Amino acid sequence: MSESLSALTETRAGLRRALAQLSASRSLWVTLSAFVGSLIIGLALITALGVPMQRAMSTAFDGAFGSVRALSDTLVFMTPRLLVALGALIAIRGGMFNLGGEGQLQMGAIGAMLPFLAFGDLGPALLPFAILSGALCGALWGAIPALLKVWRGVDEIIVTLMMNFIAIYTLKYLVQGPMRPLGSNFNMSAQIPADGVFQPLIEGARLHAGVFLALLIALAVWVMLNHTAFGLKLRASGQSPRFVKLQGQSAAKTVLSSMAISGAVSGLAGTFEVLGVQYRLIDGFSSGLGFEGLAVSFLAGLQPIGAVIVSLYFGAINSAALALQSTFSIPAALADVLGGMPILILAVLSGVMLVKGRPVWNSTL
């Protein structure tokens, strides 16, 4: 029994070391190589489907950036991925591996509906209540693993992963039961009143205020991590919890606060999807946005500004994939291929460099 526990402890320690290495700031050329390689492979796949490369590149660019509507779609696709990435990097910088972004996103979406269900149509006052409620639900969902970690020493990697499924099936239950309008056969809630959601900022486009709020949050996270006493304490806790204890500071308090903030930011991803895109709670609305956001945080080297750039890439390939699908009938799953390819290439490059004993993690993105 003791040998099994020891083996489990060693396995968890190895996983933590691997994640810590991935989360370090990586060489810029390694990251750029991963993205350039993924684009080359994507173009090769498109050519293999019989589409001329020049036309495919032109269609993809126009679909992502070629018009106000295309750029709006790219930014809207970017927003939830960026927010989940920001939430993940806050926790990981503090030494906690928050792999529960998908669950926190789902709880944030549920939280956005609660003021409407509780108080009805409050007019414009409903919007700030919905944003606050979504952030609080995400914060609560993020704080639970931290509390279990501090109180009972439960591994947060396992807890955050399992809580994803609890949140997903909680949402399924709500839209198939208590939140589904009478007489409806669809797994969705009633629509939020128009005064309680983000209004489109440009006629004929999906751009909404949540996009700019997400960019402001990214800036605020960068300032917090690099120019505040809390950010310094957070980074010190992530690098050396023992040092923090020797300084007489509460490591438990830092863990709880970092995970709560992480959950709140990830929860806003679901909140903004409900308030700016769906206008209601829909079963399956996420389609793995939380897991993509987690990948964005690692690809960005856990840098907030890098997360903006990488999430913009993910937003662009989703917009481009839709344009390619409508023009050439190319499967929309191409976006998943182009999203997963940088991760695979980065893992291969990093593994090769580590085997050769060369430094991979030198400069920031």
Determine if residue 287 is left, alpha or beta; phi over 0 gives left, psi from -120 to 50 gives alpha, anything else beta.
Answer: left
Rounded Cα distance between 110 and 119, Å, is 15
End-to-end CA distance of the chain: 45
Rounded Cα distance between 358 and 127, Å, is 51
- pTM for the whole structure: 0.87
* Ranges 229-233, 309-313, 321-325, 344-348: which has the least confidence: 344-348
CA 298 vs. chain centroid, Å, equals 11
Residue type present at position 31: T
Which has more confidence, 220 or 236?
A: 220
**Span 81-98, pLDDT tens digits:** 999 999 999 998 888 888
- What average pLDDT does the structure give for the chain? 83
**Span 152-189, pLDDT tens digits:** 888 888 999 999 999 999 999 999 989 998 888 888 99
Cα-based distances in Å from 226 to 3, 70, 108, 233, 293 = 42, 34, 27, 10, 22
- Residue 328: per-residue pLDDT: 84
- Residue 251: per-residue pLDDT: 72
Residue type present at position 132: L
Burial bucket for residue 305 (CB in 10 Å: 0-12, 13-18, 19+)? middle
Number of other residues whose CB lies within 10 A of the CB of residue 45: 17
Which ranges constitute the DSSP H helices of the chain? Answer: 2-23, 28-48, 53-65, 68-93, 101-119, 126-152, 156-176, 209-227, 229-239, 241-246, 251-273, 289-299, 304-328, 334-356
